[in-house]
């Protein structure tokens, strides 16, 4: 029977219709052995890789939460997999059961809030408006306003997702979001009122407006773009909101059509600054380093800049990339890179086509906004709109003129509010934008003057051909390091280059070979690489430098599977052999699972001793008696060895934990150890395995 992750993937890829998805959902939930908590994590991860329709997402979540309630009511516990003391499973039942005990205890007292329920005896949840990075948004009736005969008794409420409720930082997350919103008081940004809680339910109250998200407009059947004149008011509204946030040191970090709202009062609102990051942190905000709600959120790959996907520090130009994608989609009806992520499009050398309705200057601005490199991306939102908006500003430039939109149906209302426009503010905004355009013209003229400056002292004779440059490892290492989702080690001999390691399956061996063959001094290229799927990019990005260092040194520390092929069948024992480097060290062996979790094999309760003597080994971990056995989900997974001069962590970590949580802790600890003991004593090795179900 298919797992929940597989059923969702089949639906997202088009293999299952909506009815087929619903039909298979209950059977998938009934046969899964992960428990409600892990099922919710699976749903959340799948939804943020490729969002499900809101109603389907909420329905799947509701059914999973009902599983938890019925399980607890029956006196049951959440379990990851059936196992025994003598035969611990690779799916970490003990860890899951331990977590389930506490979860069950709290779940017995926890009610599931949804449509028709009331928060704090005041807010009645009447309608689901959408699902965001941190929570679900509802239209709510404020009973106090109703009693006071307020003409506008409705507001919007964001209820924190269930997987965040147990996080001790969840209230901090909403408090920070409310504080950000108070700083970002602008007519093109939604107004947030306050945060509160009702027992375990943490929520945020904000203004409610009628209208529709831009994403709904873009999904209108037959939509093929709109004229520039009609699009400009929307683009201006988006730019005004982002420019205001950037001026105050905030980057939205999840800017996308679903977070741009078009109100029935002809306004543009940017919503959901829930994972906004501070890129210019004043002293009074220094406590923000303690907790960043962005760590709870998630980006949207189709609109995230390459730098966001690569987890670089936030920058206003991240929002500019998303702004470029949305503007392009608004004008043409399709995404500039066919909804590929920025890194995928960059690796495929994808070039967006110029929309037919743009003049040269507008296309230059839009193309610069879509650059895959921050350094060549247009530097500010103000500069972008100054270059892109080629019309004279009307006095009320912020008011959205619904040109060409009158026939579009408003299907639902989503969280946004109505602000009265101030003509003075509109005039000021127009003046600022015009000034920015003038500044841009000066920059362009200066650049043009530089470009046409005559060259002098040009030699009139043709120089003799230069000798072929020597090929060095230092020359090719930067190129290898820039290949995404890869860990590549090079070796040179004369003008022959050999590359070993792990290569992004999406990037491809042919692309890598072509790139390397173009380097100066390279005559031949030989590749000995294993393909890596996208689901492994997160930990490969963290660990690649340590694997490359190890392999460049001759793979002095190694991890070997039994059998060496790495092909294993359900119920097979997982056994690995470790070889120590030429210094005393400590080994950490982790199993990166398909479901997004990491099982800690060494050190663990089964194998607490992880110290290795210099050049020692092989050290055999596991046994044919079955310290770990293979179980579902099946597919391509990875076992990773990390070698450190001191224990990686001071105490044992949970037997199994979410990959994202572990990687954050791992990155922090590796930086600490590297700074104290030097990077040369931090080494890694990978061992891919392929698992399959037993033949019945």
Q: Which residues are the active-site residues?
A: 254
Question: Measured between alpha carbons, how far is 526 from 548 in angstroms, rounded to an integer?
Answer: 17
Q: How far is CA 613 from CA 312, 587, 606, 681, in A?
A: 37, 10, 20, 14
Q: How far apart are CA 689 and CA 563, in angstroms?
A: 10
Tokens coding 301: 């790959």
3-class secondary structure for 564-602? CCCEEECCCECEEEEECCCCCEEEEEEEECCCCEEEEEE
Q: Outline where 459-589 has alpha helix (H).
A: 473-481, 509-517, 537-552
Contacting residues for 13 by C-beta, under 8 A, at least 6 apart: none
Element (H, E) at 260: strand 260-263
Give the containing element (helix H, strand E) for 528: strand 524-532
Residues comprising the chain, all counted: 696
Alpha-carbon torsion angle 428, 434, 435, 437, nearest 10: 150
* Angle (nearest 5°) at CA 77 between 75 and 80: 160
Residue 335 CB neighbour total at 10 angstroms: 18
Q: Name the strand (E) or helix (H) holding 532.
A: strand 524-532
What would you report as the CA-atom Rg of the chain, rounded to the nearest whole angstrom? 28
Nearest to 269 by CA among 173, 381, 400, 362: 400
Question: Token pair 């982002």 is at which residue?
Answer: 242
Q: Is 464 exposed, middle or buried (0-12, 13-18, 19+ CB in 10 A)?
A: exposed
DSSP one-letter code for 489: E
CB atoms closer than 10 angstroms to residue 6: 17
What number of other Cβ atoms are within 10 A of residue 399's Cβ? 18
Q: Is 521 left (phi over 0), alpha (psi -120 to 50) or beta?
A: left
Give yes or no for a contact between 423 and 396, defined as CB atoms under 8 angstroms apart: yes
C-alpha 289/C-alpha 20 separation (Å) is 46
- Listed in sequence order, the DSSP H helices in 159-277 are 162-165, 170-183, 214-218, 228-247
Spatial contact of 183 and 145, defined as CB atoms under 8 Å apart: no
Which one, of 513, 522, 519, 465, lies nearest residue 493 by Cα? 522
Q: How far is CA 419 from CA 334, 406, 535, in A?
A: 31, 21, 43
Q: For the chain, how long is the longest CA-to-CA vector?
A: 92
Residue 196 phi/psi, 5° resolution? -160, 180
Q: H helices within 312-371, ranges in order?
A: 316-332, 342-347, 360-369
Of 387, 371, 379, nearest to 441 (Cα)? 387
């Amino acid at each position: 029977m298919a797992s929940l992750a597989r059923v969702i993937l089949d639906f997202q890829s088009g293999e299952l219709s909506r009815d087929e998805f619903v039909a298979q959902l209950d059977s998938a939930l009934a046969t899964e052995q992960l428990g409600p908590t892990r099922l919710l994590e699976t749903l959340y991860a799948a939804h943020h890789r490729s969002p499900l329709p809101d109603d389907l997402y909420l329905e799947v979540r509701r059914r999973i939460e009902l599983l938890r309630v019925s399980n607890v009511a029956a006196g049951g516990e959440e379990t990851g997999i059936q196992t025994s003391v003598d035969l611990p499973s690779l799916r970490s039942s003990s860890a899951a059961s331990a977590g389930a005990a506490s979860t069950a205890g709290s779940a017995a007292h926890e009610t599931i809030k949804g449509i028709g329920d009331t928060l704090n005896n005041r807010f009645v949840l009447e309608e689901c408006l959408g699902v965001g990075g941190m929570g679900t948004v509802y239209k709510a009736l404020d009973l106090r306003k109703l009693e006071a005969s307020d003409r506008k008794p409705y507001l919007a409420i964001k209820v924190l997702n269930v997987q965040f409720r147990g996080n001790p930082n969840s209230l901090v997350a909403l408090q920070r979001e409310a504080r950000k919103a108070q700083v970002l008081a602008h007519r093109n940004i939604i107004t947030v009122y306050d945060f509160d809680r009702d027992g375990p339910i943490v929520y945020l109250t904000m203004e409610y407006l009628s209208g529709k998200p831009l994403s709904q407009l873009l999904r209108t059947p037959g939509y093929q773009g709109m004229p520039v004149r009609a699009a400009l008011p929307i683009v201006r509204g988006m730019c005004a909101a982002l420019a205001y946030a950037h001026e105050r040191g905030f980057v939205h970090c999840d800017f996308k059509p679903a977070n741009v709202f078009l109100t029935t009062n002809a306004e543009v609102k940017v919503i959901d600054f829930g994972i906004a990051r501070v890129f210019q942190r004043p002293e009074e905000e220094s406590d923000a380093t303690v907790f960043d709600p962005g760590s709870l959120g998630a980006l949207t790959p189709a609109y995230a800049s390459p730098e966001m996907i690569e987890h670089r520090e936030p920058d206003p130009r991240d929002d500019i990339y998303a702004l470029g994608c949305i503007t392009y989609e608004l004008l043409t009806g399709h995404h500039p890179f066919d909804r590929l992520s920025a890194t995928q499009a960059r690796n495929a050398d994808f070039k967006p086509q110029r929309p037919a309705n743009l003049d040269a200057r507008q296309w230059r601005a839009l193309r610069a906004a879509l650059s895959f490199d921050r350094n060549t991306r247009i530097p500010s939102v103000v500069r972008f709109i100054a270059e892109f908006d080629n019309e004279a500003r009307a006095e009320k430039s912020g008011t959205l003129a619904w040109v060409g939109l009158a026939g579009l149906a408003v299907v639902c209302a989503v969280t946004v509010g109505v602000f009265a426009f101030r003509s003075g503010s509109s005039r000021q905004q127009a003046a600022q934008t015009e000034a920015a355009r003038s500044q841009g013209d000066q920059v362009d003229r200066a650049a043009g003057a530089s470009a046409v400056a005559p060259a002098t002292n040009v030699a009139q004779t043709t120089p003799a051909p230069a000798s072929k440059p020597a090929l060095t490892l230092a020359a090719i290492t930067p190129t290898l390091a820039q290949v995404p989702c890869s860990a590549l080690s090079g070796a040179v001999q004369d003008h022959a280059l050999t590359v070993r390691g792990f290569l992004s399956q999406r990037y491809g061996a042919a692309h890598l070979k072509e790139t390397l063959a173009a380097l100066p001094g390279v005559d031949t290229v030989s590749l000995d690489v294993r393909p890596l799927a996208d689901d492994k990019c997160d930990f490969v990005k963290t660990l690649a430098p340590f694997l490359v260092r190890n392999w460049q040194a001759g793979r002095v520390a190694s991890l070997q599977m039994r059998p060496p092929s790495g092909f294993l069948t359900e119920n097979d024992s997982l056994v690995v052999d470790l070889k120590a480097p030429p210094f005393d060290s400590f080994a950490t062996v982790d199993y990166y699972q398909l479901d997004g979790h990491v099982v800690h094999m060494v050190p663990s309760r089964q194998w607490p001793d992880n110290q290795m003597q210099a050049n020692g080994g092989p050290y055999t971990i596991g046994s044919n008696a079955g310290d770990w056995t293979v179980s579902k989900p099946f597919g391509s997974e990875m076992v990773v060895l990390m070698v450190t001069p001191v224990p990686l962590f001071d105490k044992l970590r949970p037997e199994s934990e979410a990959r994202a949580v572990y990687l954050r802790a791992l990155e922090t600890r590796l930086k600490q150890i590297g700074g104290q003991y030097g990077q040369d004593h931090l080494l890694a090795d990978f061992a891919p395995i392929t698992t399959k179900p037993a033949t019945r």
